[in-house]
Amino acid sequence: MHALNSRQHCDWGQRVKLSDAPHGGGRLGRAAADPAYLRYRRAFEAAGDAYPSVAVYVGAGASHSWMWFADLLERLGLHDIAFVTEEEVTTEGLSRFGVLMVGGGDTYAMAEGMGPGGAGALEGFVRSGGFYHGSCAGGYLVLRGVDRPPFTPFALVDGEMVNVMGSPPEPRCLEHKYLAPYGPDWVFHPVYGEVVLGPGIEGRGFECFASGDIKAPLFGGPVIASMSSVADFTGVSDRAAFLWPRDEAERLLEGRRAVVSASLGGGTAVASGPHLEHPLFVGANTLLAELLLRHLKEAPADTGAPSGRAPSTTPPHGLNPTAATAQVETLLGEIRRQVSNARIVGFGLEKMPITWRIGVKVWEPEKIRTFLDYAWRRLPYLYARALYLDPAELEPLAAGYAEVTRLARSLKITIESDTDSQPEAQSLLTRLKELTASFLSLYFRLRLEARGDHD
């Protein structure tokens, strides 16, 4: 035996750096910690009765970008969030919300899913004092100039899309991201990636432009012509792909509107080409925050727009008894296990040369991990609030993520066997979308309940 027992212990461990948040750092962590959000967080926290209740659209046509709203809203301290589908839009489900956010995806599927009834519901929502923000597909949806069926009844914001023509030239790259049909014409995307935005007439004086233009990602959103705007395209970035020759793409964008808004009744509707909600673009995030804050300040008090639920530290079902807490921890462990298992499979799929076309949108395998990351990063908070969780609300999540792991592993085998993986991919991505919405609903409910703790 070696002289192990005579070894002196050193005073080392108390200072060893431990990181218990493997995904809390990096670019996302740095962006989330940006002080630019503070001003808005304080303003929303001080909003009292006007603290907004937010609906994020996850229904037909929504791709994965709706999750970016979750990041943004969390950074702004807005925790009264629900994830709604076309069904809630069309059945007066919006009446309990003051804000609706619609992200990217398949605009056709959105419009067809909501139908004319949904269009009327959106207009009614805004006229009654609501705030509508649409990025990319959510922006196309409400532009008045996007008026061919099935978009005709959706017309909240004045503006024409400029990026449409009958015979677009061949793209230089990103062919799969280039076109979407629009009647006999094609909507095309000359630039894909980071663009530069400056203030439009309505955006002058916005805090986000105080130190110059801002950057935002344009992933197929509209390039808009309109009399007035909140923000205009002022340039492109090296961090973009040019599907047209760069000078031609720049000419198309130059001076065009990127973000336009309209006041209807007591409400506001915003259509944005770029994804202002993208979690790596702090400046763009604060532009959206500014729009929302101004809406809340300017909206007449008597519009009837609903305010958020009063923050409470009392969960609906009270504190768990010990036995239930143990069950909660077991279920959280199972969720963690399965999210990790599925993430690992998803990561392995990312380098496989495969994509799936679902509707008019192309889905890449990396979106599997993207969905899972949203749950993974937030799981520690659920552990921290285990006392306030009901086992019954975790059981479907645990079962769901176990199913996702099974589906992901099966999908990998299918891809490797060179057989058609489209049906399995669609099942998996649909399930992931539903589950992520359920997970985030639970997460934000806990956040909302805990707000009082920090007051």
Distances (CA, A) of 386 to 336, 340, 383, 393, 437: 14, 19, 5, 12, 19
The nearer residue to another protein, 251 or 357, going by C-beta atoms, is 357
| Smallest distance from another protein to CB 438, Å | 21
The nearer residue to another protein, 7 or 454, going by C-beta atoms, is 7
The nearer residue to another protein, 160 or 366, going by C-beta atoms, is 366
| Smallest distance from another protein to CB 384, Å | 15
Compute the distance between CA of residue 292 and CA of residue 301 in angstroms, rounded to an integer. 15
| Smallest distance from another protein to CB 236, Å | 11
Whats the size of the chain, residue-wise? 455
| Smallest distance from another protein to CB 12, Å | 5
Half-sphere exposure (Cβ direction) of 389: Cα atoms closer than 13 Å: 28
| Smallest distance from another protein to CB 246, Å | 11
Cα three-residue angle 274-27-401, rounded to 5 degrees: 85
| Smallest distance from another protein to CB 72, Å | 17
Give burial (CB, 10 Å; 0-12/13-18/19+) of 58.
buried
3-state secondary structure 294-314: HHHHHCCCCCCCCCCCCCCCC
The nearer residue to another protein, 78 or 411, going by C-beta atoms, is 411
The nearer residue to another protein, 73 or 408, going by C-beta atoms, is 408
| Smallest distance from another protein to CB 361, Å | 11
Compute the distance between CA of residue 341 and CA of residue 344 in angstroms, rounded to an integer. 5
Using omega within 30 degrees of 0 as the cis cutoff, is the peptide bond preceding 150 cis? yes
The nearer residue to another protein, 120 or 193, going by C-beta atoms, is 193
Beta-carbon contacts of residue 247 (< 8 Å; ≥ 6 apart): none
Beta-carbon contacts of residue 55 (< 8 Å; ≥ 6 apart): 81, 82, 83, 84, 88, 93, 94, 97, 99, 100, 101
Q: Are 432 and 440 in contact (CB under 8 A)?
A: no
Compute the distance between CA of residue 73 and CA of residue 277 in angstroms, rounded to an integer. 9
| Smallest distance from another protein to CB 405, Å | 8
Question: How are beta strands 99-102 and 191-199 bridged, if at all?
Answer: unpaired
The nearer residue to another protein, 150 or 193, going by C-beta atoms, is 193
From the CB of residue 63, how many other CB atoms can be counted at a distance below 10 Å? 23
| Smallest distance from another protein to CB 164, Å | 21
The nearer residue to another protein, 167 or 417, going by C-beta atoms, is 417
The nearer residue to another protein, 3 or 46, going by C-beta atoms, is 3
The nearer residue to another protein, 242 or 444, going by C-beta atoms, is 242
| Smallest distance from another protein to CB 172, Å | 7
Compute the distance between CA of residue 122 and CA of residue 354 in angstroms, rounded to an integer. 37
Of 263, 5, 29, 238, the residue nearest 131 (C-alpha): 263
Q: Are 83 and 440 in contact (CB under 8 A)?
A: yes
| Smallest distance from another protein to CB 207, Å | 24
Compute the distance between CA of residue 218 and CA of residue 222 in angstroms, rounded to an integer. 9
Distances (CA, A) of 30 to 33, 75, 280, 286: 5, 12, 9, 15
The nearer residue to another protein, 179 or 225, going by C-beta atoms, is 179
